[in-house]
Chains A and B, each alone.
Chain A
Amino acid sequence: MLSVKHNEIVEFSSELLNQFAEVVARFPEGRQKSGLLPILHLVQAEFGWLSPDAMDKVAAYLTIEPIEVYEVATFYTMFLLQPQGKYLLEVCRTGPCCLVGAERIMNHLENKLGVKEGEVTADGLFSWRGVECLAACGFGPVLQIGPSYTFYENLTEESVDQLINDLSSKTN
């Protein structure tokens, strides 16, 4: 669901704008809209999610209508339309990973973090969700963490505990 627009002033850093320009230069003149997905990834990596105000600003940059950005952002599952925990743990919940214990890992995550799928822990550090096939079926169960989308393969309850502890201590 799209968030309510707050008319916040969103500023893109000069570094981010340089990255936008590099993206747009990959496409023929007049086809700058092709840069929309890469630019949304860059904005999400910078701000943690895509607010309507940020999407409006992207639309203005690419000289396209805001609705063209909204319809893309709502179509693709990687784009986050609500703030999440600092670390969004995405567990593959599709067939091959389930054959080797993905559902057990999701149950463990829920118990360990004390929040249900889609919720954020009280300290704002973690949220988790099940996602569809992550194309690592031979190394399941797997999870990934954006914005680098680092993979953690062959998960066990113990390795999940270790991962959460490592991320917590990195932040403290």
Chain B
Amino acid sequence: MARKLLLTHIDVPGIHTFEVYRQKGGYRAVEKALKTMSPDDVVEEVKKSGLRGRGGAGFPTGMKWSFLAKPEGVPRYLVCNGDESEPGTFKDRFLMTHIPHALLEGMIVSSYALGAKTSYIYVRGEMMPQIRILEKAIEEAKVAGFLGKNILGTGYDLEIYVQPGGGAYICGEETALLESLEGKRGNPRIKPPFPAIAGLYGCPTVVNNVESIAATVPIINDGGEEYAKIGIERSTGTKLISAGGNLVRPGVYEIELGLPVEEFIYSDEYCGGIANGKRLKAVVAGGSSVPILPTNLILKTINGNNRLMTYESLADGGFQTGTSMGSGGFIAFDEDQCIVRNTWNFTRFYHHESCGQCSPCREGTGWMEKVLHKIEMGHGDLSDIELLWDIQRRIEGNTICPLGDAAAWPVAAAIRHFRDEFEWHINHPQDALTHNFGLAHYADPLTPIVS
């Protein structure tokens, strides 16, 4: 049985309440940090742990914290990014629903480390039930003396508030989130300045993902070095993986980083294999924005090594033959799924969610959606594949925020690895809407086409 740090007590009845969470050892990290450690000590432990941001970018959390400017007389803020909206990713919703105090405890520890007196948890607006759960948890923690004035008699004051979003994927981007928190449209800001220098209301601010903040609790409880012993190389600790698509047991799993992808998909401890006895066709390993990989490449790297659930192994081969850990949104496609249709679906998502600031993203995502729709509906031309390739290339790297890249990568990977499926749609227009998308319709579906 794999070691768990965040979901240890997930099956304990009432673990969402302060009382039960406390009985199971909750809030020890707050006591330890506030009573026995300086804020700098806490930052050092997080650095030692090797924790990398769990929202998608994978930037070292301790290093991010150490960038925070500390001018005299200026407030500092911690903002928790709970705007989970990446297709395939639902781990933060799960954590906030079932163990809200784990997030809250992490918020207190992290706020203390950063010298924040007011912190905000920005939660996507659609998660109203989770917002109410968190607000109740805040009240419970306050009554118990873990929030508010003079926490545990240590002289540290902290207020935490929950802010609902309004339904916009772009607000998961940290500067767009800050704009939204200031009551504006979620238009990303040009960086620099980074939030660590000029964030919320122009003040130094750290924005961390829900899972990253919750992970500080075991780091403080057990020490950063213990945390770093879990995992492999620069992928330390555990990671929540949200598994969806055509799996026997979709759901949220906590894995030790380094688990082989094949074991995650097929073992009974995790996903239990592909649903309905079908074969696996492809996987999106880290949320819709990361490159899709055909079965052979998600299970083995191009060098024939087992592909592991680590930042390094998933990225092995770059975007030609590898992918990315991203947010841990794992989507499995069975043999009947259509890659063209799914790519069109994802592109529609990014077109819908583009904030419209940058022309390549605003226009390019819509253009790609139209071309993909045309191909899927049986009206495509072979030149459309080159057109799609050209559009995605002109979006990538040419926008203020990474949403443009997130829209471009799925299209590039789909063409790179499943070009024959696009060609099949174009060459069999009469069948495009009615065919079975099984592996049999093209000669060797597991051979990637590397362009």
Contacts and interface: CB of A to CB of B under 8 A. Distances in A.
A21 interface: no
A76 B167 contact: yes
A144 B87 contact: no
A103 to B, nearest CB: 9
Contacts of B93: 135-136
A136 B166 contact: no
Interface string A46-76: 0000000000000000101000100110011
Interface stretch (A10-18, A105-113, A146-154, A158-166): A146-154
B164 interface: yes
A146 B127 CA distance: 10
A83 interface: no
Contacts of B243: 138
A162 B251 CA distance: 25
A151 B129 contact: yes
B163 interface: yes
A95 interface: yes
Given A94-B349, A151-B129, A31 B182 contact: yes
A98 interface: yes
Contacts of A36: 183
Contacts of A26: 120, 159, 161, 163
B366 interface: no
B180 A37 contact: yes
Contacts of A33: 182-184
Given A41-B125, A132-B349, A136-B90, A77 B166 contact: yes
Interface in B118-162: 118, 120, 124-129, 159, 161
Contacts of A76: 125, 165-168, 186
A40 B352 CA distance: 22
Name, among A35, A76, A151, the residue most crowded by chain B CB atoms within 10 Å (CB to CB): A76
Contact of B242 (A93, A132, A138, A151): A138
Given A79-B166, A144-B126, A149-B126, A95 B85 contact: no
A90 B341 CA distance: 21
A58 to B, nearest CB: 11
B185 interface: yes
Nearest to B243: A138
Contacts of A132: 85, 87, 169, 349, 352-353
A52 B331 CA distance: 41
Contact of A138 (B84, B169, B251, B353): B251
Contacts of A62: 183
A26 B201 CA distance: 14
Given A75-B185, A95-B342, A132-B349, A137 B329 contact: yes
Given A37-B180, A95-B346, A77 B84 contact: no
Nearest to A137: B244
Interface in A82-108: 93-96, 98-100
A146 B164 CA distance: 14
B90 A138 contact: yes
Contact of B184 (A72, A100, A139, A140): A72
Given A41-B164, A75-B185, A135 B127 contact: yes
Given A138-B242, A140-B244, A150-B129, A95 B87 contact: yes
A71 B331 contact: no
Contacts of A136: 90, 93
Interface in B250-299: 250-252, 288
Contact of B129 (A35, A40, A75, A149): A149
Nearest to A102: B345
Contacts of A100: 245-246
Nearest to A147: B128
B15 interface: no
A40 B185 CA distance: 13
Contact of B125 (A35, A37, A64, A133): A37
A94 B182 contact: no
A95 B330 CA distance: 12
Contacts of A144: 126
Contacts of B164: 37-38, 41
B337 interface: yes
Contact of A133 (B86, B252, B342): B86
Contact of A99 (B90, B186, B246): B246
Interface string B395-430: 000000000000000000000000000000000000
Given A41-B125, A94-B345, A31 B201 contact: yes
B397 to A, nearest CB: 24
Name, among A75, A76, A138, the residue most crowded by chain B CB atoms within 10 Å (CB to CB): A138
Interface string B20-34: 000000000000000
Interface of B: 75, 84-90, 92-93, 118, 120, 124-129, 159, 161, 163-169, 180-186, 201, 242-246, 250-252, 288, 329, 331, 333, 337, 341-342, 345-346, 349, 352-353, 355
6 contacts: A95-B88, A96-B88, A96-B244, A96-B331, A135-B85, A136-B90
Given A76-B167, A138-B242, A149-B126, 6 more contacts: A34-B181, A71-B185, A78-B167, A133-B169, A134-B126, A148-B129
